[in-house]
Structure 1
Amino acid sequence: MFFEGSEKKAEILVDANKINLLTDIDNAFWSKLVECCHAQILSSIENQHCKAFLLSESSLFVWQDRFLILTCGETHLVNSVEYFLANQGSDLVEHVIYQRKNEYFAQAQPSCFGDDIKVLTKFVEGKAYRFGELDGHHTYIFHQDNHFKAVETDKTYELLAYQISATASEHLTQPNLSSADIRDFLCIEALLPDFIIDDYVFEPYGYSLNAIRGHEYLTIHVTPQADSSYISFESNMNLVKLAPKILAVLQPASFDLLSFNEQDFAEQAIAHIPEQYVSNALVNSTLSNDYIVHFANFIQPKQAYKTPVELDISGENHAL
């Protein structure tokens, strides 16, 4: 069974003097926004700083001055961005950032990054970049090109794990797994002390988690199937420093690290990435919006030959 775990991501920052996204917009609006990309809200948690919505495909976080939405599968996330811009008005918007990771099977998606940019540029002028090689792991980033300048403390991190170990995949695809079982396996209590947690186990496989503490957030999305395993972590907590704990559990064959505004990314990667991983791609740039972006792909070099995967050529098969 195949599922496209790679996320599309959008963050929109607004003028907090004109609108408070926590108090001026009700949950019915967010529900409609999510439906525009062909997903649904499953549940939510909140504190005085943040609302976190768990979606049928990933997550939505809302703060006073911004919202962040990630969707996976075959969702059409740009439709949700278009809905917000069309209904709230571009004059409220301080900045738009839109991102897409390379997919396992891009041909199954309803649009490509170029299609999405054509939609976004109807509302805002911007610049687009590719971090990483086209024939390898990479991510596309579009950002509005306007007066906005990011502050140094506005930091986010992504850790994206591919081809998790057979042990991890087998554990996470067991029948009748509970959310408590998965939290224990992922060592969530050690990663997220004192966080409010909302999570969901999908049938037959898959798991999503949102966690908030004050302004801090972390979201995890698990696609555990051996032939397309992918587990993503997104947070404003430093995932470079947390990487050793995450990698020890998942033991992926490769993973990507992406950071916005982590000035010491290179030094931290040297200090915290386990020795068995070597860098396969390193890209960084300071964008015109003052975000310092680092993208790194790490792999475990192969030491032995493997046998090929025999494909099922009867019926439909994504791998073909």
Structure 2
Amino acid sequence: MSLFFEGAEKKLEVVISDSGPNLRDLGVDFWHALVASADADILSQISNDHLDSYILSESSLFVWDKKLIMLTCGGTRLVNALMHLIQVLGVDAISFVSFQRKNEFIAALQPSTFAEDIALIRQHISGKAYRIGHLDSHHHYLFHSPNPYANALEEKNCELLMYHISGDIAAYLRSQGQNAEVIRQQLRLAELFSGFTLDDHLFSPLGYSVNGIKDDKYFTIHISPQEQSAYVSIETNLDLANYPYPVFAKLLERLQPSSWDIIGFNLAHEESDFPVHLCLGSCSITTSLGYNIHFSHYQQRCQEVLIPEFM
């Protein structure tokens, strides 16, 4: 039986009110406890004058003075990190919450559903929830609180989610004796993210994560290369529409997924450099806060050869 790991991530974004604490002053013990509440661990950290970046046993955490973004995969329950934050800081310290989930490969293995997660959130914070995409295909769930915050409409974020990668890099990621520096070179991270400080981790038996920070900007890449459930996520707050490199197009070219999703927050994406593809569905939402969300699901225009898996 092939290895399986649930790479699909949950994402939490929290903005702290002006009267709330500076998150970066809370100390490393606070963050270890918060991450542990979601059933994950901190593996490493890098920092600059603007933010702290943590590689987790399941994805990543980024902390600015008044904002955090946390992603977890596997069997974690990320909503518990928000509950921990509310318990320690108080709900009045929280100005804005966004909670996002991607449908999982095997949802039955998860400790909770999106509906159960937002029911817990709504005991403390009101908000609106959406599903984007069909239930029998790739789909995403999003919850956000109703209260706007400063700079919300100026902030940009974009996510690229790949499924069933193939080619030479995918083969290397599934091989024995991998090296993190080789993966950096294969993905050409120094070219795509020039000037970024990088922190990466190779997981056993398979898996690779990298965080990068430069000033107040970040990117993160998580690769679960297991053949029957291969999943890659890339996320950044770079303004890719005005960035000198077509980051997503280059990573699609190198990792060769059979299909992929792109979610842009206040940022539309450019498709011209993508591999030959079909856009199977798209959606644009303007939230009550004026925040624009763009979602598209793509498939390579080629015939995929399916391999039966013995059970």
| Aligned partner (choices 1, 9, 12) of residue 10 of structure 1 | 12
The separation in 2 between residues aligned to 1:311 and 1:290, in whole angstroms, is 49
- 1:156-235 to 2 correspondence within 5 Å? 156-235=157-236
Q: Per-residue deviation at 1:26?
A: 1.0
Q: Please give the secondary structure, in 2, of the residue aligned with 1:269.
A: coil
Does structure 2 conserve the Cα–Cα contact (< 8 Å) formed by 1:197 and 1:209? yes
Q: Per-residue deviation at 1:271?
A: 3.1
Which residue does 2:124 correspond to in 1? Answer: 123
> Which region of structure 1 is more displaced relative to structure 2, 97-106 or 145-154?
145-154
Q: Please give the secondary structure, in 2, of the residue aligned with 1:247.
A: helix
The separation in 2 between residues aligned to 1:307 and 1:297, in whole angstroms, is 20
The separation in 1 between residues aligned to 2:186 and 2:307, in whole angstroms, is 30
1:251 and 2:252 are equivalent in the alignment: no
Q: Per-residue deviation at 1:92?
A: 1.1
Q: Per-residue deviation at 1:147?
A: 4.5
Residue 296 and residue 307 in structure 1: after superposition, are their counterparts in 2 closer, same or farther (change >3 A)? closer
Q: Please give the secondary structure, in 2, of the residue aligned with 1:22.
A: helix
The separation in 1 between residues aligned to 2:54 and 2:113, in whole angstroms, is 26
Count of aligned residue pairs for this structure pair = 305
Residue 299 and residue 310 in structure 1: after superposition, are their counterparts in 2 closer, same or farther (change >3 A)? same
* Per-residue Cα deviation, 1:124-145 (whole angstroms, up to 9, x for no partner): 0011001111111111000012
Aligned-pair identity in percent equals 39
The separation in 2 between residues aligned to 1:146 and 1:189, in whole angstroms, is 38
- 1:69-88 to 2 correspondence within 5 Å? 69-88=70-89
Does structure 1 conserve the Cα–Cα contact (< 8 Å) formed by 2:187 and 2:251? yes
Q: Per-residue deviation at 1:149?
A: 6.8
* Per-residue Cα deviation, 1:31-87 (whole angstroms, up to 9, x for no partner): 100000110000100001000011000000000110000000000111111100121
Which residue does 1:68 correspond to in 2? Answer: 69
Q: Please give the secondary structure, in 1, of the residue aligned with 2:176.
A: coil
Q: Per-residue deviation at 1:172?
A: 0.7
Write the letter of the residue equivalent to 1:283: C
Which residue does 1:281 correspond to in 2? Answer: 281
The separation in 2 between residues aligned to 1:150 and 1:136, in whole angstroms, is 34
Does structure 1 conserve the Cα–Cα contact (< 8 Å) formed by 2:20 and 2:94? no
TM-score, normalization by structure 1: 0.91
Does structure 2 conserve the Cα–Cα contact (< 8 Å) formed by 1:166 and 1:226? no
The separation in 2 between residues aligned to 1:4 and 1:252, in whole angstroms, is 17
Q: Per-residue deviation at 1:243?
A: 1.4
The separation in 1 between residues aligned to 2:306 and 2:110, in whole angstroms, is 30
Q: Per-residue deviation at 1:170?
A: 1.2
Does structure 2 conserve the Cα–Cα contact (< 8 Å) formed by 1:169 and 1:225? no
Does structure 2 conserve the Cα–Cα contact (< 8 Å) formed by 1:95 and 1:148? yes
Q: Please give the secondary structure, in 2, of the residue aligned with 1:177.
A: coil
Q: Please give the secondary structure, in 1, of the residue aligned with 2:138.
A: coil
Write the letter of the residue equivalent to 2:264: S
* Per-residue Cα deviation, 1:201-228 (whole angstroms, up to 9, x for no partner): 0111101111100000001101011111
Unpaired runs of 5+ residues, structure 1, are 313-320
Which residue does 1:309 correspond to in 2? Answer: 308
Which residue does 2:290 correspond to in 1? Answer: 290
Q: Per-residue deviation at 1:273?
A: 2.7
Q: Per-residue deviation at 1:22?
A: 1.3
Which residue does 1:48 correspond to in 2? Answer: 49
Deviation beyond 6 Å, 4+ runs, structure 1: none
Does structure 2 conserve the Cα–Cα contact (< 8 Å) formed by 1:278 and 1:300? yes
Which residue does 1:318 correspond to in 2? Answer: none
Does structure 1 conserve the Cα–Cα contact (< 8 Å) formed by 2:19 and 2:93? no
Does structure 2 conserve the Cα–Cα contact (< 8 Å) formed by 1:160 and 1:255? yes
Residue 125 and residue 230 in structure 1: after superposition, are their counterparts in 2 closer, same or farther (change >3 A)? same
The separation in 1 between residues aligned to 2:309 and 2:62, in whole angstroms, is 41
Does structure 1 conserve the Cα–Cα contact (< 8 Å) formed by 2:265 and 2:294? yes
TM-score, normalization by structure 2: 0.94
